[in-house]
């Protein structure tokens, strides 16, 4: 998605107005790992690397996270793990409470200082184009999305949403990724030893916190996502530590 958008931004000469955002899930973010002596970066690192690789200066990439007021009155991270403890279950298809609270809402809130400043300078609501990478192939609900729509309009900001990759098929995405020297996160390859190929077709699309067999927003067959994810993680951790000498960092 970002490659498609950055091509347009360069063509229209507005790269300096582009910001990329990564919404951290705190402790549940996939970490970087060392496997067979090779370091594989975590999702936060990959997001920053990809932003730079697509031509955006590092100072225009931002990592944001949800915060709450701590016991001492200062702001502290509000991890997705806290949300899971509150709800008593992981996010799942039909109840993806993480999508808004831990991702979209966090990014939108981070725009507020910029919006406040620019509104004073412009004397009108600030126009923002929110670009996301959803595709029709990903789910039944996303198959009905509009490629361009207005999602918010008030006295401070007018936000439009553009989905440039909406019509891309999964096969087209894989073909593009395999042809470009842009790193993808290692979980898309099942685990690092399979980094020359993609995860088996049964593995669902994963977010920053979801193991390949599906712990978050899972569509795994049989609905045994949590059980399968836990089993996968234990097996992988044991293999990495005992067999290969790999370590989680």
Q: Residue 148 has which token pair?
A: 């361009």
What percent of the chain lies above the pLDDT cut of 90? Answer: 40
Across residues 11-31, what is the average pLDDT?
89
Q: 232 or 130: whose pLDDT is higher?
A: 130
- pLDDT at residue 228 above 80? no
What's 2-248's CATH class?
alpha beta
pLDDT in tens, 56-67: 999 999 999 888
So what's the pLDDT on residue 97?
Answer: 61
Sorted by where each begins, the domain ranges of the chain are 2-248
Q: Residue 170 has which token pair?
A: 């999964």
So what's the pLDDT on residue 95?
Answer: 66
pLDDT in tens, 111-160: 999 999 999 999 999 999 999 999 999 888 889 999 999 999 999 999 99
């Amino acid at each position: 998605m970002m490659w498609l958008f950055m091509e347009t931004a360069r063509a229209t000469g507005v790269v300096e107005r582009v910001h990329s955002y990564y919404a951290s899930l705190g402790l549940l973010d996939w970490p970087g790992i060392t496997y067979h002596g090779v370091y594989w970066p975590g999702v936060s690192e990959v997001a920053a690397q990809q932003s730079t690789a697509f031509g955006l200066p590092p100072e225009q990439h931002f990592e944001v996270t949800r915060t709450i007021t701590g016991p001492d009155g200062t702001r502290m991270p509000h991890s997705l793990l806290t949300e899971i403890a509150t709800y008593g279950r992981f996010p799942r298809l039909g109840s993806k409470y993480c999508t808004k609270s831990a991702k979209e809402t966090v990014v939108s809130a981070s725009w507020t200082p910029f919006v406040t400043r620019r509104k004073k300078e412009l004397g009108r609501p600030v126009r923002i184009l929110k670009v996301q990478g959803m595709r029709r192939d990903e789910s039944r609900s996303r198959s009905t999305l509009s490629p361009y729509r207005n999602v918010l309009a008030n006295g401070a900001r007018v936000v439009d949403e553009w989905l440039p990759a909406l019509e891309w098929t999964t096969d087209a995405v894989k073909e593009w990724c395999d042809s470009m020297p842009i790193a993808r996160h290692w979980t898309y390859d099942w685990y690092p030893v399979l980094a020359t190929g993609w995860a088996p077709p049964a593995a669902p699309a994963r977010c920053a916190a979801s193991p390949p067999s599906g712990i978050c927003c899972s569509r795994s067959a049989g609905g045994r996502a949590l059980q399968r994810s836990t089993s996968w993680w234990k097996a992988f951790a044991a293999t990495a530590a005992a067999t290969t000498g790999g370590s989680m960092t």
